[in-house]
């Protein structure tokens, strides 16, 4: 007759089996070909006939009970495994995240606005290299090697003769006119470099937006109207534009352009050095010789050109009193925009 202790022992072992292998081993131990229960079943035939029925039934019951305990153990292990894998793969959507969402740089945002405003006036965007030849940066704009106007912009020179980080975007004017016929209406935004001491309104690297319009009958009035339209679009209808006589070898007449300082509304403050105006850049009517050099007849066509610094506009637009903030990697400043 089967010892009931075997069933108990098997159940205890199965209920604490740590993995599937342990369960398999227990199955072999009790129900395998040479297993303990199997041996009992086999021995039933050797018993006296009157003992056989009870012994057989007991052995069968033991076998069924152990079989059930094995199934239970297998189930328990399978569930534990499932639990573990969902645990491992769990995605907690409420967990705080320290991923920072970036955004466009304030000057980039302003550039986009400027491009959009000119685009609405029918301008397209042209491009030129940041490392420019002396020819396009100076000579083609009638600034010869000995011309005193070279001193107007403190140039960084490179170790490669004839190449320099461009001091302005005006070279793009010439590049564009060489390859396009009038009517021309472009802006050319981009970085420029000058060997300048930094202060609250000057940087050694800054952006410029060059503009060029060449067509029949273009005048200074078109220049002023275009610039004013852009400034009003950016800064509001009450902005003023002031043109002051100036000199550039490649424009005649030439002007310096100022916008009302909207921080103090023209009263005078630190940003505008007490003048009430912010200097934006230069402009003028394209010099007839510049047109002639690129094969455009100045008796038929005339044009205006301008170049201004968007950072200067950003100062006024955002009410910032120091231009250096823009190109310092200080997120506390940049995150405000």
Interface contacts to ligand PHE, rule CB under 6 A: 168, 170, 248, 251, 281-284, 305-307
**Nearer to ligand PHE among residue 57 and residue 125 (C-beta):** 125
Place of tokens 């109207």: 225
**Nearer to ligand PHE among residue 247 and residue 333 (C-beta):** 247
**Nearer to ligand PHE among residue 168 and residue 312 (C-beta):** 168
Tokens representing 285 are 């009517």
**Nearer to ligand PHE among residue 254 and residue 271 (C-beta):** 254
Burial of 323 (0-12, 13-18, 19+ CB in 10 A): buried
CB of 241 to ligand PHE, least distance (A): 15
**β-bridge pairing 241-248 and 251-260:** antiparallel
> Of the candidates 192, 213, 134, 177, which has an alpha carbon nearest to the alpha carbon of residue 311?
192
Spatial neighbors of 245 by CB under 8 A, at least 6 apart, are 253, 254, 255, 256
**Nearer to ligand PHE among residue 170 and residue 226 (C-beta):** 170
CB of 139 to ligand PHE, least distance (A): 14
Q: What CA–CA distance (Å, rounded) separates 266 from 268?
A: 6
- The answer to whether 59 and 40 have CB atoms below 8 angstroms apart is yes
CB of 146 to ligand PHE, least distance (A): 19
CB atoms within 10 A of CB 198: 13
Q: What CA–CA distance (Å, rounded) separates 254 from 286?
A: 9
Spatial neighbors of 333 by CB under 8 A, at least 6 apart, are 325
CB of 250 to ligand PHE, least distance (A): 6
**Nearer to ligand PHE among residue 35 and residue 249 (C-beta):** 249
CB of 173 to ligand PHE, least distance (A): 7
**Nearer to ligand PHE among residue 123 and residue 248 (C-beta):** 248
CB of 219 to ligand PHE, least distance (A): 15
CB of 330 to ligand PHE, least distance (A): 27
**Nearer to ligand PHE among residue 35 and residue 307 (C-beta):** 307
146-150-153 Cα angle (round to 5): 165
CB of 97 to ligand PHE, least distance (A): 45
> Of the candidates 320, 121, 336, which has an alpha carbon nearest to the alpha carbon of residue 231?
121
Distances (CA, A) of 136 to 128, 140, 214: 10, 5, 18
Place of tokens 């921080």: 263
CB atoms within 10 A of CB 316: 22
**Nearer to ligand PHE among residue 61 and residue 150 (C-beta):** 150
Place of tokens 């955004």: 103
CB of 246 to ligand PHE, least distance (A): 8
87-90-95 Cα angle (round to 5): 125
Tokens representing 175 are 């590049």
């Amino acid at each position: 007759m089967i010892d009931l202790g075997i069933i108990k022992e098997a159940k205890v072992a199965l209920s604490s089996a740590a993995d599937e292998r342990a369960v398999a081993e227990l199955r072999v131990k009790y129900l395998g070909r040479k297993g303990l229960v199997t041996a009992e079943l086999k021995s039933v035939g050797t018993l006296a006939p009157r003992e056989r029925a009870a012994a057989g039934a007991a052995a069968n019951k033991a076998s069924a009970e152990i079989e059930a305990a094995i199934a239970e153990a297998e189930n328990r292990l399978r569930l534990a495994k499932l639990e573990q894998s969902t645990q491992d793969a769990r995605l907690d959507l409420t967990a705080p995240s320290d991923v920072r969402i970036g955004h466009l740089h304030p000057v980039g945002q302003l550039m986009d606005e400027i491009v959009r405003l000119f685009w609405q006036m029918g301008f397209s965007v042209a491009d030129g290299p940041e490392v420019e030849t002396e020819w396009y940066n100076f000579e083609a704009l009638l600034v010869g090697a000995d011309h005193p106007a070279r001193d107007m912009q403190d140039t960084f020179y490179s170790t490669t003769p004839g190449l320099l980080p461009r001091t302005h975007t005006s070279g793009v004017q010439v590049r564009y006119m060489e390859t396009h016929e009038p009517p021309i209406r472009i802006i050319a935004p981009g970085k420029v470099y000058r060997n300048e001491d930094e202060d609250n309104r000057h940087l050694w690297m800054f952006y410029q937006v060059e503009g060029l319009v060449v067509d029949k009958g273009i005048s200074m009035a078109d220049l002023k109207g275009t610039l004013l339209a852009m400034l009003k679009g950016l800064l509001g209808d009450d902005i003023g534009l002031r043109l002051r006589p100036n000199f550039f070898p490649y424009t005649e007449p030439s002007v310096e352009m100022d916008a009302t300082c909207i921080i103090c509304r023209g009263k005078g403050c630190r940003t505008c050095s007490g003048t009430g105006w912010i200097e934006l850049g230069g402009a003028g009517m394209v010099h007839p010789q510049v047109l002639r050099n690129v094969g455009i007849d100045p008796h038929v066509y005339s044009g205006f050109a301008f170049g201004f610094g968007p950072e200067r506009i950003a100062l006024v637009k955002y009410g910032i009193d120091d231009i250096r903030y823009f190109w310092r990697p200080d997120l506390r400043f940049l995150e405000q925009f």
